[in-house]
Amino acid sequence: MSTSTTTSSTTAPGVNWARNYAYSAGTLHRPTSLDELRAVVASTGRVRAVGTRHCFNDIADSPGDMVTLEDLPTEVEVDSAAGSARVSAATSYGVLAQRLQDSGAALATMASLPHISVAGGVSTATHGSGDGTQNLAGAVRAVELVTADGDVRRVERGDAEFPGSVVALGSLGIVTHLELDVLPTYEVRQDVYSGLSFEAFAANFDAVTSAAYSVSVYTNWIGSDTTQVWLKTRVSDSADAPTELLGAHRASEPLHPLPEVDVRNATEQLGIPGPWHERLPHFRFSFAPSNGEELQVEYLVARENALGVIAALRDLGPSIAPLLHMCEIRTVAADDLWLSSAYQRDTVAFHFTYKQRQAEVIAAVAEVEAALAPFDVRPHWGKLFAASADRLATLYPRFDDMRALVASHDPGRKFANAYTDRIGLTHP
- The size of the chain, in residues, is 428
Percent of the chain with pLDDT over 90: 86
Residue 11 CB coordination number (10 Å): 11
What end-to-end distance do the CA atoms of the chain give, in Å? 28
364 phi/psi in degrees, rounded to 5:
-65, -35
pLDDT for 5 beyond 70: no
Per-residue confidence (pLDDT) for residue 400, from 0 to 100: 97
Nearest to 97 by CA among 68, 81, 121: 121
Q: Which pLDDT tens digit goes with each residue over 25-41?
A: 989 999 999 999 999 99
User: Which has the closest alpha carbon to 405: 171, 228, 206?
Assistant: 171
The neighbour count for residue 49, using CB atoms within 10 Å, is 27
Q: What one-character-per-residue DSSP string does 22-85 give?
A: B---SEEEE-SSHHHHHHHHHH-SSEEEE-S---SSSTT--SSEEEE-TTSPP-EEEETTTTEE
Asked if pLDDT for residue 415 goes beyond 70, the answer is yes
Check: pTM over 0.85? Answer yes or no. yes
What pLDDT is attached to residue 6?
Answer: 57
Over residues 252-261, the mean pLDDT reads 85
> Using CB atoms within 10 A of its CB, is residue 367 exposed (0-12), middle (13-18) or buried (19+)?
middle
Q: What are the structural domains of the chain? A: 9-68 (3.30.43.10), 76-185 (3.30.465.10), 187-380 (3.30.70.2520)
Tens of pLDDT, residue by residue over 201-248, are 999 999 999 999 999 999 999 999 999 999 999 998 666 778 899 999
- Mean pLDDT on 267-295: 86
Torsion of CA 187, 192, 197, 202, to 10 degrees: 20
pLDDT, mean of residues 283-308? 87
Residues with Cβ within 8 Å of residue 396, at least 6 apart in sequence: 338, 339, 343, 378, 402
Question: pLDDT averaged over the chain?
Answer: 94
pLDDT for 309 equals: 98
| pLDDT tens-digit map of 190-210 | 999 999 999 999 999 999 999
Does residue 124 register a pLDDT over 70? yes
Mean per-residue pLDDT, 111-140: 96
pLDDT at 263: 86
